[in-house]
Amino acid sequence: MNIPKILDLPKYLDPRGNLSFIEQNNQIPFEIKRIYWIYDVPGGEVRGGHAFKEQHEVIVALSGSFDVIIDNGVQEYKFSLNRSYYGLYLPNLLWRRVENFSTNALALVISSTEYSELDYIRDYSKFKDMVRSNEKV
């Protein structure tokens, strides 16, 4: 079963302003192939509503806050991201939705794959079937 996990990113607290960073071979448990970001989300909107067959990702709330609701086919987890020094690591085969975006929220997503619509599972019952067959392997 695939389990999401919070990564504690390095932080340099400094009276001049804080600094955090990500290095592929230290903080990120996969080879980085793509970075994208979600911003200007109108109040009340929900993103996601799908899973990935292969893609792993790390989500960071660079600014503001939002909730990531994760379903691994057995259990639901809610992560409220509101600090830019936490990364939420999501392995593949996790159904996710992202909601409750604050004003000016900025979600950075670091991905293990280039964009491919073929990697998306957008049908929840297909997702459940894939989780079941994955567990038999």
- Phi, psi angles (nearest 5°) of residue 129: -60, -40
37 scored as a contact of ligand TYD (CB under 6 A): no
Report the distance separating Cα 99 and Cα 68, nearest Å: 7
Specify the DSSP element, H or E, that contains 134. Answer: helix 124-136
Quote the least distance from Cβ 11 to ligand TYD, whole Å: 26
Q: Which residues of 67-84 are buried (b: 16+ CB within 10 A; e: fewer)?
A: bbbbbbbeeebebebeeb
Query: Between vectors from CA 132 to CA 131 and to CA 137, what angle results, nearest 5°?
Result: 95
Binders in 43-102 for ligand TYD, by CB under 6 A: 47-48
Catalytic: 50?
yes
By CB under 6 A, name the one of 8, 21, 115, 129 that touches ligand TYD. 115
Stretch that binds ligand TYD, among 33-41, 56-64, 72-80, 86-94 (CB under 6 A): 33-41
Binding-site size, ligand TYD (CB under 6 A): 6
Which of 11, 50, 53, 97 is catalytic? The answer is 50
Q: Which residues bind ligand TYD (CB under 6 A)?
A: 34, 36, 38, 47-48, 115
